[in-house]
Amino acid sequence: MDLLQNLGINGKLLLAQIVNFFVLLWVLKKFAYKPVLEVLEERKDKIEKGLKDAEKSQKKLTEIEEKEKKVLKKARQEAQRIIGKAEEQAKKSGEGIIIESKQKVEKLVSDAKKNIREEKQKMLTEVKAEVIDLVALATDKIVGEKINEGKDKEIIESMVNKQ
């Protein structure tokens, strides 16, 4: 004890500081460390979910493109079949039927292309809306707060439309 007092250290005060340190350490562990870890874990889970949703949207877009190719191929095949049929009839009936048949084929092809364009546009609009919502959700979860929902959608739509 004399040695500690010679160094200017009060033993009771040192003991009280050690006890206070451990009490403070326990309080921080109980009320600060665990809740912060829980919040970080929740945020990690939300971000992973957002990434999975974005991946699903990408897969859906790929499926839409494949579907579009199939429909276009089918329309071409149908057009070829109709042209073949029209040529047969034209040989029998003359040139007037050939012209009429080709017009029908062109109309069918143009209608098919129009339907494909409309379907593609509709699906792209749906995918864009879904991507916008996912990006807004992911941004909200990453940032932790929502700045302005209208402004968020406007910014995201402008970025999506640039691509």
Mean of per-residue pLDDT scores for the chain:
83
Q: Please tell me what DSSP assigns to residue 10.
A: -
Separation between Cα atoms, residue 114 and residue 132, nearest integer Å: 26
Rounded (5°) CA angle 112-103-119: 10
pTM exceeding the 0.85 threshold for the entire prediction: no
pLDDT of residue 1: 58
Range with the lowest mean pLDDT among 26-35, 76-85, 127-136? 127-136
Separation between Cα atoms, residue 85 and residue 69, nearest integer Å: 24
**What's the token pair of residue 96?**
């007037």
3-class secondary structure, 147: coil
Reply yes or no on whether the pLDDT at 30 is more than 90.
no
- Within a 10 A sphere around the Cβ of 16, how many other Cβ atoms? 11
Distance of alpha carbon 90 from the chain centroid: 53
Distance of alpha carbon 82 from the chain centroid: 41
Which residue matches tokens 């990408």? 58
